[in-house]
Chains A and B, each alone.
Chain A
């Protein structure tokens, strides 16, 4: 469970990865009770989104992932427009965006290796290349010994690693994490949070992390967006939020 294991297992950061990617989501979308109206721009690194339930956090991730369309605005990754609300729409698997859903959504009937290799198979990678990439990814995450195990036999922390491995093996240009730690019990949560921190620190891509847990915001303090009722009510570092909470929700959140 310690993060050092992942640190040492992973090869040095890839110098040839190219320029930093930029994710831009300028979104207007009418939901059942609220209208999601936000403009988010993320460079490499973790941006944490906090907010009360029903604020539109998950919907924002789903929109960026391509699972929902916007009414107006523009979702773009670098120069590539993914959704302009007016006909131009890139479907989920073609966006180079990895989305780790709440509770991870691992495929229960597939082994860990087949879960991690799923996206590669969908991209028609030849079997040998697929197996090599999966083996490398499992080793990198320290879960090589679970390759043939079904997800229901894994611990919460292992499940998170499989979910991240399944997402990152595709070498995405952006990463979306929806409540990645909410499915875990309190005892393991902090250890797994450290692990998550170590992993995303090594992946220099725009990463959006949705949470309702103050400890997650503390763990990724550089950039926090507060989403309430579909609108951004405050942005800043964790320290800035603590020093000057702009709304009653933020005040409650930093308590």
Chain B
């Protein structure tokens, strides 16, 4: 029953579209813009998640300090907060009339309704998936191996690069892929904080919404199929990485 319930809508997507319509849609300029923008923003988001999330994940896995449990919970918070709420929160914080608006304006930075806002929205909702997985990966590395490395003469950074990272790599890859997929599907926070402008903030999920609103069902289906297939590939990669 349950399997059928999952399978039915997914197969309906494929049944509702013909190959001709599918490829014709993918050639539309605004659809191509959405594809390009999604690829660009999710790549930047993933890079930022890895760059900023890895130290946090390591900190949470390896160090005990006052407020660690609180920080741990805080990092997970965006996973349970509704994306629309995340969008409002981002708008209130970094929007044109947001709390940090004077600061950003002084620095000459405008965030809301830009591509940068898309990245921020994705980062907010997607990076916790990476941090969670990486933290679990780091915590799973036997601390004695790092100590052995230290007694053999490796410094902290060298130990991190040669022992900790390679041993946590399956979790890091799994978390990175999941977080990337979450960023790719990001809708609520993006439309609130970044709007729905072709070429600027209209990523693929937003394009699906717009196409459906404007009555272009085949286009909405085609983009959806791309997203479903991508998600499936992502799941397979995660499975493979976990092994």
Contact = CB atoms under 8 A, between A and B. Distances in A.
Contacts of B162: 118
A178 B148 CA distance: 12
A131 B154 CA distance: 18
13 contacts: A67-B150, A91-B150, A92-B151, A93-B153, A99-B148, A102-B144, A103-B144, A107-B149, A108-B167, A109-B167, A118-B154, A122-B149, A122-B153
A240 to B, nearest CB: 32
Contact of B152 (A67, A93, A102, A109): A93
A93 B151 contact: yes
Contacts of A123: 153
B151 A107 contact: no
A97 B151 CA distance: 8
Interface string A138-156: 0000000000000000000
A118 B167 CA distance: 16
A105 interface: yes
Contact of A119 (B142, B144, B152, B166): B152
Secondary structure dominating the interface of B: helix
Interface in A71-113: 91-94, 97-99, 101-103, 105, 107-109
Interface of B: 142, 144-145, 147-155, 158, 162-163, 166-167
B152 A122 contact: yes
Contacts, number: 57
Interface residues of A, number: 23
B153 A107 contact: no
A122 to B, nearest CB: 4
Nearest to A123: B153
Contacts of A198: none
B148 A93 contact: no
Contacts of A97: 151
Q: Which of B142, B148, B167 has the most CB of A within 10 A?
A: B148
Nearest to A103: B144
A89 B145 CA distance: 22
A119 B145 contact: no
A98 B151 contact: yes
Given A101-B144, A109-B166, A67 B154 contact: no
A105 B152 contact: no
Contacts of B166: 109
A193 interface: no
Contacts of B151: 65-67, 92-93, 97-99
A118 to B, nearest CB: 5
Nearest to A104: B148
Contacts of B158: 122
A170 B144 contact: no
A67 B144 CA distance: 10
A107 B167 CA distance: 9
Contacts of A94: 153
Contacts of B163: 107
Given A108-B167, A109-B167, A122-B158, A101 B147 contact: yes
